[in-house]
Chain A
C-alpha cells in the first residue's frame, strides 16, 4: 500500500515543530516522509540499525558518532521530534531570521548550537570536556589503521596543547569555540534545501 506518511503527522505537531526548529511546512512534511521511509519497523521511531542501513552513512568514518547524536542519553529510539531537533542544527542561518516565539533563548541552528553539536562528536561521555583519551578515540575512527599509535598520540597532545588555555589537559566548550572562531561554521555546517 502506498505510504500515507503525511496523514500520520498532525497539523498541530507540524506547527510545534515549526516553532521549535524553524523548518518550513513543506520541509517538515518531506522530512517526515524520509523519517517514515527509514523506519523499517514502522513503530514511529528510529533505532540505530535504521540509520546504519544508509550506505553513505555506514561508510562515513564518524558515522557512529553522528548516529549517536540523535539519541538522548541512554535511549535506543528517536521519535520524529527528536529527529527534527537534531537536524535543525544544520539548518542554514538566514540573515533576517525573524525571532520566532521559541521556548529556549536561541534558535537550534545558531553558531553556538552548531559548534556544540560538533563538540559533542568528540565528547564521548558527555561530561562537557574533551579528554586526551576521547580525542584519541575519535582520531582513530577518522584515520582507521593508517597511522601509528605514537603518531596519533603526538597529534592529540599537540592539539590539546594548542587549545587548552586553563591547563586542565582537556578541551572545554569555550576553548573549543576559541579554536574554531575563524571557521565559517554557519556555512560549513548547513545543508541547503531546494524548497
Chain B
C-alpha cells in the first residue's frame, strides 16, 4: 500500500511537469498559430535520417540486384490505342472481302491481351490500397519488398519504434484529447451566448484553436498555397478525399460548415457540440437517401451569404491520394461558387490514406499517431462556376481535372464507389456496341 502511495508521490510531479511542458511548448503556440520551431527541427532530423537510410538501402540493393522502381511505379506498358485501331491492325493481313466490317478469328486477340493487361495492372484497384513507396521509410507497415540490409539500419528502425510508440504516441494522444475536449467545452460555452456578431467570431476562434491543437496531435506540417483563393462565405469548398484527417487539415486555415451523417458515440457528441456554436449540416441516415431534400438544404445554406462555406468531398469515399476519381454531380447542382482545393500528402513521412475495409477508425487513428509525421500541401484554386451550356457532370469533370492537375494526381473517370460495388453493365455494353460496328460495318440498325 505504501509502495503505491510512494509511486504516486513520485509520479504526480512528473505528470505535472509533463503537462506544463505540453501546454507551454505545444498547446499555447498552436492555439495562437505561432511556431516555436520544435517541429521544424524534428522534421529536419527526420529528413536527414531517412535520406541516410535510403542511401544505405540503395547501396545494398545494387549489390543484391533488387529492382529499382521507375518513377511511375508501373509494372507494364499499357497500350493506349483504341478498339478500332487494334482490330484493324489484327485484320490487316486478311484478304479484303467486298463488304466493310468483318469478323475474323483473330479479333479475340485484342480482348484477351487487354484482359490480361488489366489482370497484371489496372488503374482502379490500386487506388484503394496504400501507395507503394519508392524507398523504405523505416516503418514496418510499408515494408513490402525490403529485406534485411544491415545492422545499423535495423537499429535505427528499432530506435524509431521506441520513439514513435513511447514518446510520440502518448504525446499525440494527450494533445488530441485536449483538443477535442476543448472543442466540446468551447463550442458549448459559445452556444450559450446570444446571437451577436461576437458569437460568430468567438465560434470561429474556438474551432480554429481546437483544430490547430488536433493538428499538432498528428504532427501535421501543412503548407498552404495561394491563400488569396481561400473559400468565402456562401460558397462550396470541394476537395479530393484521402482520409477523415482532410477535415482537420483544411479547418486549420479557415472555418467551414461541415456536411455529413449524424453519428452516435463520440462523433455524435462532437457534432452536437459544434452545432451549438455555428450552423453545420448534419443529416439523418434516412434523409441522405432523399437527394432532393439534401440538395435543398445545401442550397438554403449556400444562399444565406452570412453562413460559412460548405466543405464537401465529391468523391464520396477515401482514395489513396495518387489519383482523383469521379466527382458525384450532386454537389455541383446546388449552384453557388465552387472553390476547388487540392490536397496532396507526402507519403514518405506517414501514409494518410484510410483503407476503411481494412482498418477501423480507431486503428487508423493509432496508425496516424505512430507515423513519423503528416506532411501535406494544400492548394487553393481560383473559384469556378458552372458555365452556359455545361451540365453538372461536365462541370464536375472540369473541376476534377483542375484539382488533379494542381495536385499532380491521375485524373480518372472511374467511380470511387467501385471500392465496394460492382461496375455497371453499361460499360461492357458500350464495348460490345463498338465491337459490333467492326463486325457488321456501318449499316447496323442504329
Q: CB within 8 Å of B: which residues of A?
A: 1-6, 25-26, 29-31, 33-34, 37-38, 51-63, 66, 87, 90, 117-118, 121-122, 138-139, 142-147, 151, 155, 159, 163, 171, 176, 179-180, 182-183, 185, 188-195
Contact, CB under 8 Å: B75 / A194: yes
- Interface hit among B30-38, B114-122, B290-298, B389-397: B114-122
Q: What are 6 pairs between A and B in contact, CB < 8 Å? A: A55-B122, A63-B428, A118-B109, A143-B439, A179-B106, A193-B77
Q: A2 and B141 in contact (CB under 8 A), knowing A90-B113, A147-B436? A: yes
Known A56-B114, A121-B112; further 18 A-B contacts with Cβ < 8 A = A26-B65, A29-B145, A34-B75, A37-B129, A55-B414, A61-B432, A62-B108, A87-B116, A87-B119, A138-B108, A142-B435, A143-B432, A147-B444, A163-B105, A180-B106, A182-B93, A185-B109, A189-B112
Q: B120 near A31 (CB under 8 angstroms)?
A: yes
Whether B439 pairs with A59 at a CB distance below 8 angstroms is no
Return B431 CB to nearest CB of chain A, in Å: 6
What residue of chain B has the Cβ atom nearest to residue A31's Cβ? Answer: B120
Q: Determine the distance from Cα of A14 to Cα of B49 in the docked complex, in whole angstroms.
A: 33
User: Is B107 interfacial (CB-CB < 8 Å)?
Assistant: yes
* B80 contacts chain A at the CB level, 8 A cutoff: no
Q: B77's closest neighbor in chain A, by CB?
A: A192
Interface size grouping (class) on chain B: 35 or more
The answer to the question of B259 belonging to the interface, with a C-beta cut-off of 8 Å to chain A, is no
> Which residues of chain A have C-beta atoms less than 8 A from B119's C-beta?
51, 54, 57, 66, 87
Beta-carbon contacts under 8 Å, B388-446 to A: 414, 418, 422-423, 427-433, 435-436, 439-440, 444-445
B144 at the interface (CB under 8 A from A): yes
Q: Complex Cα distance A171/B104, Å?
A: 13
Closest to A144 in B: B432
Which chain B residues lie closer than 8 Å to A146 at the CB level? Answer: 432-433, 436, 444-445
A3, B132: Cα distance in complex, Å: 10
Are A6 and B145 CB-contacts (below 8 A) given A54-B125, A122-B108, A142-B432?
Answer: yes
Answer whether residue B94 sits at the interface, using C-beta atoms and an 8 A cutoff.
yes
Assuming the contacts A26-B67, A53-B125, A143-B436, asked whether A191 and B116 have C-beta atoms less than 8 A apart, the reply is: yes
- For the complex, what is the distance from the CA of A58 to the CA of B427, rounded to whole Å? 9
Contact A142:B112 (CB < 8 A) given known A57-B119, A60-B431, A195-B67 = no
Whether A66 lies near B143 (C-beta < 8 A) is no
Contact between A159 and B77, CB atoms less than 8 A apart? no
Which 10 pairs of residues, A with B, have the shortest CB-CB distance? A144-B432, A146-B436, A182-B93, A2-B141, A56-B118, A26-B67, A66-B115, A59-B427, A62-B111, A55-B423
